[in-house]
Amino acid sequence: MPITAEGRWFKDETGRTRILRGVNLSGGSKLPAQPLGYTHLPESLDERRDVSFVGRPFPLEEADEHFLRLKHWGLDFLRLVVTWEALEHEAPGSYDEAFLDYIEALVEKAHERDINLFIDPHQDVWSRFSGGDGAPAWTFDIVGLEIDNFEATGAALLHQQRLDRFPQLMWASNYNRFAPQTMFTLFFGGNCFAPGRKCEGETLQDFLQAHYIKAFQHLAKRIAHLPNVVGFGSMNEPSAGLIGVQDLRATDHLLVKLEITPSPAEAIFLANGFEQECLDFGQPLIDQLPGNAKKATINPRGLRAWKDDCEDIWREQGIWDLDKHGLPRMLRPGHFARVNFAQDFLKPFTERFAAAIHEVMPDALIFIESEPLAPPPQYRSPSKMVYAPHFYDGATLFTKRFHPQVNINPFKMRPVIGGDNIKAYMQRQIGRFREYADACMGDVPVVMGEFGIPFDLNGAAAYETGDFSEQACALEYQLGALDAHLMAYTQWNYTPDNSNEHGDNWNGEDLSIFSRDQQHDPSDIDSGGRALSAVVRPYARKIAGEPLNMRFDPARGLFTFSFRGDSRLADPTEIYVPNSQYPDGYRVEVSDGEFEVLEDEQRVIYRHSDKDMPHMIRIVSKTPPPPELSPYDKLAIIGLVALFLLFLLGRGGKQGKK
């Protein structure tokens, strides 16, 4: 393997420590290439089985262009997005060999450019047909769900059917809705919660998990011979569904509340054709205040999310039934309570997945995820496992607004004021994932599998002005925190067919660091990049010892790195130093030993003394740093922040009165 795990560090074949930096490739890989699966196209869900993902993330003839650009930007580690649907869309056990040929050729192209990667089995809210991506349409068929009625029954909200009323992150509210909740519950816990419902003689859990795992094992067989494949993720952002819900009648456990939000009990009744009055949360953070939510009617036509010849699984389990008036009533609201999803359901699945991959690739690393913001399962001896959590700045992501001096701590629901305090808050939040790893998995590496920002901030003003400085500042807060924790990462995302009008072409999201619409000079390798002043940054790629500290101050052009040397290692330390950060050049200062600047390769090679002691390297821009703010400037900023907070409070009060 080109990269292995040793304790909490990644190592290369020479024994040097690797700090891995890269991107998710790509947001577009969630959707078919033929017929075109963009979610802003109402017809994109019409074809359910005869689809092709060949050309996702880009046609092979474009591979050199994109891989050269990413390599130039120092982003040479990929989280390669592959969905279950891309592999097995036609029917259970029928694999798309043309797509497998394509992926094999794509990974080989990456190897030619010295780019390493791991496969990300990606899903969001289960499937394209329930508002996200991931599973094939036939998974709903074997359970007995009717895709055509999902929107009308509130079982899922689809961008394709509400183009003019799809607020930011509306897709994520589908985790609270019937179709994804039911599918996740059956996938992870069907043996426990619906043992009587079967497919081809197997329980639904065993059938679904077996086909999911076999599909990715089949992919592993095709690419196992390629030396740049580091491993496989187990599943992107797995969801518990209904598992662990204490009271099906309540909504207080729901993570995302947007617009009309049924409780799990109401969602079950809606799926069975019973009209419901549900809470209607309008604007997040305003209508979610006590007393602000309204009520709205769902499914007045009385449609069912189940096929005509299929009984509701949850009624079969005695969770609900009809009263003497023919109305639904919940009999066992705590049916899914008193279990531990991560330990009792997610862990057995990840271990089963890992075993299947290791049959084909014995040394592959398995990148483990848990539910967003939740710790991973407890593993006694997590051999060849990596913890791969996700982090997003919720205030920026939900509102598509950014202010460098004002943020919100969503865990305590209180403001964070001042740039330094926001940076410290980000560092604490990202550091928490290292604590989760230590507590649940032990001394394993952590790679931040996803983080990023919407590039259409503030009404997409940057697309008119070309000024991405606010986006760069928002990213810098996150990237600086990742640097401070010496954490590997793959940023979400690089989407080659991103456009200013439709973003990443999936549910209104626009998080790509590249867009053709910003590519005004195709001969310039940086053209098309967004917020590159933050994204493209120096870092220690290969370290002849153990990293201790890394910082980059883009305003001053100052990079510092220290590490404890290992005299047993013969190869030098390598620092990636992008020329774009140092247009007037830079000077290098080292604590001892010697260095070599390879400007054309954007690298500094450092050979420290043979002592097992701390060593330091500083890279300093020759451009004079900008002057610091005067005390009067700082007071003016504080005053503006105070006015901004007063405006927000006043706006919230007015909304409440309405």
The rounded distance, in Å, linking the Cα atoms of 158 and 468 is 31
H/E stretch holding 651 reads: helix 631-657
Reading the block at residue 339, the tokens are 């279990």
The alpha carbon of residue 424 and the mean position of all alpha carbons in its chain are separated, in whole angstroms, by: 22
The rounded distance, in Å, linking the Cα atoms of 214 and 186 is 18
Output b/e per residue, 363-394; b: 16+ Cβ within 10 A.
ebbbbbbbbbbebbbebeebebbbbbbbbbbb
Q: Are 73 and 529 in contact (CB under 8 A)?
A: yes
3-class secondary-structure state, position 590: strand
Q: Are 590 and 617 in contact (CB under 8 A)?
A: yes
Peptide bond into 493 cis (omega under 30): yes
Nearest partner of 655 among 280, 261, 293, 124, judged by Cα: 293
User: Of the listed 85, 88, 146, 237, which one is catalytic?
Assistant: 237
Q: Are 150 and 130 in contact (CB under 8 A)?
A: yes
H/E stretch holding 562 reads: strand 558-565
Reading the block at residue 581, the tokens are 């950060």
H/E stretch holding 457 reads: helix 457-460
Nearest partner of 51 among 68, 70, 37, 67, judged by Cα: 37
**Could you count the other beta carbons within 10 Å of the beta carbon of residue 155?**
32
The rounded distance, in Å, linking the Cα atoms of 169 and 283 is 12
Question: Which amino acid type is present at position 451?
Answer: F
3-class secondary-structure state, position 489: strand
Whole-angstrom CA distances from 438 to 349, 377, 444, 547, 579 are: 21, 12, 8, 18, 37
User: Of the listed 85, 450, 476, 574, which one is catalytic?
Assistant: 450
Residue 42 DSSP code: G
Question: Which amino acid type is present at position 66?
Answer: H
Nearest partner of 503 among 123, 159, 126, 71, judged by Cα: 159
Residue 450 designated active-site: yes
Q: Are 496 and 66 in contact (CB under 8 A)?
A: yes
The rounded distance, in Å, linking the Cα atoms of 446 and 442 is 11
The rounded distance, in Å, linking the Cα atoms of 123 and 323 is 38
**Could you count the other beta carbons within 10 Å of the beta carbon of residue 609?**
14
Q: Are 378 and 396 in contact (CB under 8 A)?
A: no
Residue 475, C-beta contacts closer than 8 angstroms, at least 6 positions apart: 452, 453, 531, 534, 535
Q: Are 104 and 112 in contact (CB under 8 A)?
A: no
The rounded distance, in Å, linking the Cα atoms of 565 and 608 is 7
**Could you count the other beta carbons within 10 Å of the beta carbon of residue 346?**
26
The rounded distance, in Å, linking the Cα atoms of 278 and 528 is 44
Nearest partner of 517 among 508, 530, 506, judged by Cα: 530
Query: What is the set of active-site residues?
Result: 237, 450
